[in-house]
């Protein structure tokens, strides 16, 4: 039996009432600070066992939403349900949650093992259980050999692992993570993202609400992504779905910097689920339906889905004038212009690099492009 399996089959949970792995429901939750509304009525559900990433620009209300779940701020209106029960009026210590924050917030005068034991002691667990859980939790994050150290004797990445172990030790109903990796440097961050993914694979019942401003963390980890903008839910959906078919301009640009080109709808294409559109003089086929002929739309296509060579699948082609070319190791970034619009392209391999000023044809597949109603959503 693996450490993680042991971790979840043990029946001696000290979490209050509900079992580990409960969902969270926001029911029209709004938050105001001194009258200023920073979270507009938010309704969404985090399913039990899923990782939901909340992303959005700075100040969009991500932390505020998380703090409402934790009970650190009282919603101005709406209810919050954890595991199906109304938790809006519960104090934080009775919500059965755990949290990992950007600066780790380890208790500096406690050893690693005491840090991890803290929540269990607070919840009145017996000594045997505490010893076992501390050991298990530290093993899961690979920090067993550091249990006697003080936090100041650990690196940032190691401190973050301890913070995660401390949260896991109480078997929270929901694990709240607020930009847990943003204090780490890029390389460790990438390793830690993989580790969190492995952690969730080992603990499939664990519900995780993960706040980040790093879209690659969200894309790697999340089952679903919620995008906040100005205190409002701009878009929510399954990660791949949201990435490939963003419902609005903000989602398209925020998640993966999609190209958005103004087009005019020509009419349904031959294949079901595709429509023909016009970009300047060029005619291309993109995925979509329900777009009346003659209407104006934005065509969304990702930089890495555009190539300089066509084939049977990449049947669309558009012409653009190369403005900039940036070589960045494995990837080459191209910036080209189509009329007023800018087209960004990421190429992996360029045997004959083009020069600035060249007129180039870029190819893409109809299924890699879709249409957005410009005014849709926020």
Partner 1 sequence: MSDAVALAPRAAKVDLAGWWIAPPLIVLALLFLYPLTLIARAALIDDSGGLNLAAAFEVLDSRAFLDALLNTAEIAVASTAGCVVLGLTLGLILAFAPFPGAGLVARIVDTFIALPTFLVTLAFTFLYGSAGILNGALTSGLGLDHPPVDFLYSAWGVVLAEVTVYTPFVLRPLLAAFSLVDRSQIEVASLLGARPLRIVRQVILPAALPAIVAGGSLCLLLTVNEFGIVLFIGAKGVITLPLLIYDKAIQESDYQAACAIAMVNVALSLGLFGLYRFAARRLGG
Chain residues that interact with ligand ATP, rule: CB under 6 A: 33, 38, 56, 58-64, 213
Instruction: Choose among 48, 25, 367, 61: nearest CA to 234.
Output: 61
Q: Is 133 helix (H, G, I), strand (E, B) or coil?
A: helix
Q: Which residue number, 56 or 288, has a Cβ lying nearer to ligand ATP?
A: 56
Burial of residue 108 (CB within 10 Å: 0-12, 13-18, 19+) is exposed
For residue 45, the partner it binds in ligand ATP, partner 1, Mg ion, none, with Cβ less than 5 to 8 A by kind, is none
Binding piece for partner 1, criterion CB under 8 A, among 34-42, 114-122, 289-297, 351-359: 114-122
Q: Which residue number, 163 or 345, has a Cβ lying nearer to ligand ATP?
A: 163
Q: Which residue number, 106 or 325, has a Cβ lying nearer to partner 1?
A: 106
Task: Report the distance separating Cα 83 and Cα 86, nearest Å.
Answer: 8
Q: Which residues contact 157 (CB under 8 A, 6 or more apart)?
A: 184, 188, 191, 192
Report residue 91 as tokens. Answer: 């104090």
Q: What angle do CA 159, 162, 165 make, to 5 degrees?
A: 155
Report residue 375 as tokens. Answer: 């005014």
**Contact flags string 23-62 toward Mg ion, x per CB under 5 A:** ----------------------------------------
Interactions with partner 1, residue window 80-99 (CB under 8 A): 91-99
What are the Cα distances from residue 62, in Å, to 59, 203, 230?
8, 25, 10
CB of 38 to ligand ATP, least distance (A): 3
CB of 228 to Mg ion, least distance (A): 10
Q: Which of 22, 25, 30, 63 binds Mg ion (CB under 5 A)?
A: 63
Residue ranges binding partner 1 (CB under 8 A): 70-72, 91-99, 101, 103, 105-110, 118-119, 122-123, 166-167, 170, 176
């Amino acid at each position: 039996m693996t450490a993680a399996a042991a971790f979840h089959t043990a029946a001696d949970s000290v979490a209050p009432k509900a079992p580990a792995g409960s969902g969270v429901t926001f029911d029209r939750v709004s938050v105001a600070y001194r009258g200023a509304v920073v979270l507009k009525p938010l309704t969404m559900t985090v399913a039990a066992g899923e990782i939901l990433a909340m992303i959005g620009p700075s100040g969009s209300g991500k932390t505020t939403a998380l703090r409402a779940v934790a009970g650190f701020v009282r919603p101005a209106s709406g209810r919050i349900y954890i595991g199906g029960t109304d938790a809006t009026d519960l104090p934080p210590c009775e919500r059965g949650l755990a949290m990992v924050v950007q600066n780790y917030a380890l208790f500096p005068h406690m050893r690693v093992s005491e840090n991890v034991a803290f929540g269990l002691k607070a919840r009145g667990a017996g000594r045997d259980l505490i010893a076992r859980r501390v050991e298990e939790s530290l093993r899961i994050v690979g920090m067993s050999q550091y249990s006697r150290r003080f936090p100041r004797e650990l690196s940032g990445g190691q401190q973050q692992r301890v913070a995660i172990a401390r949260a896991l030790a109480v078997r929270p109903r929901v694990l709240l993570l607020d930009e847990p990796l943003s204090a780490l440097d890029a390389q460790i961050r990438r390793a830690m993202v993989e580790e969190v993914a492995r952690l969730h694979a080992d603990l499939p019942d664990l519900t995780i609400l993960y706040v980040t401003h790093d879209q690659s963390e969200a894309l790697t980890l999340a089952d679903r992504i919620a995008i906040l903008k100005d205190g409002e839910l701009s878009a929510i959906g399954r990660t791949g779905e949201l990435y490939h078919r963003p419902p609005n301009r903000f989602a398209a640009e925020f998640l993966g910097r999609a190209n958005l080109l103004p087009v005019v709808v020509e009419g349904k294409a031959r294949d079901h689920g595709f429509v023909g559109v016009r970009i300047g003089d060029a005619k291309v086929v993109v995925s979509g339906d329900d777009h009346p002929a003659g209407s104006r739309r934005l065509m969304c296509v990702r930089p890495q889905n555009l190539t300089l060579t066509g084939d049977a699948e990449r049947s669309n082609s558009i012409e653009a004038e190369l403005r900039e070319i940036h070589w960045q190791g494995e990837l080459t970034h191209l910036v080209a212009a189509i009329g007023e619009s800018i087209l960004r392209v990421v190429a992996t391999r360029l045997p004959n690099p083009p020069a600035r000023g060249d007129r180039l044809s870029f190819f893409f597949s109809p299924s890699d492009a879709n249409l957005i109603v410009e005014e849709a959503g926020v």
